Copies of this chain bind each other. A is one copy, B any other.
């Protein structure tokens, strides 16, 4: 079942390696079926080298149980499920431990919207979540990781597709998108922006960008009168 989605998700996992945002087994990509009943995700702790579409694991969004697949699903599965259940607009989720994004998550600092590279993809600062509390870590840790992402987005009150990524405190980046390839694209862009912003903050800790520049760049690409691209 879901052969096309499995191919897309497998391909997207391999793309993480090609783009240099994961080493070893440090990342995972999932996608949701168009009826939003099933999630396809990378297996847990299986090397990328030689990974095939048939290695992907299929789970029910409703029950969270595996419905097909020869491997156990990614240990971050519950985080992905939370995001799909809460946000109807998200069709794919990516998690990596890319260096610069992790640095922001470890430092507990938002990746600030200080340039047009950022504004072309993310309509505002990429938030760093709060630290999880002890009981949130002890029980249902992975689901709570999803919940703290949701809490952060809802408190700030924005559409998750307008800022399709976040850094989880002491952990690392999660991104999402319209499909698996797009979510990986956002993971690569988030890492590149984090690298730019790291150096920017080193050069000038009070760097900032005016709201109207953020508006302009985001809207010329994503607004209703967008004129970027074909």
- What is A's interface to B at a CB cutoff of 8 Å? 23-24, 26, 43-46, 71-72, 75, 97, 99-100, 102-109, 114-117, 131-132, 134, 137-138, 141, 170-172, 185, 188-189, 192, 195-204, 207, 209-210, 212-213, 216, 220, 227-230
Cβ of B213 and Cβ of A170 under 8 Å apart?
yes
Measured in the bound complex, the distance between the Cα atoms of B173 and A115 in whole Å is 12
Q: Which B residues touch A209, using CB under 8 A?
A: 106, 170
A189 surroundings in chain B (CB, below 8 A): 24
Q: Are B44 and A108 in contact (CB under 8 A)?
A: no
Closest to A210 in B: B131
Query: Is A23 within 8 A of B188, CB to CB?
Result: yes
- Given A44-B228, A137-B212, are A203 and B170 neighbors across the interface (CB < 8 Å)? no
**Minimum C-beta distance from A167 to chain B (A):** 11
Q: Are A212 and B44 in contact (CB under 8 A)?
A: no
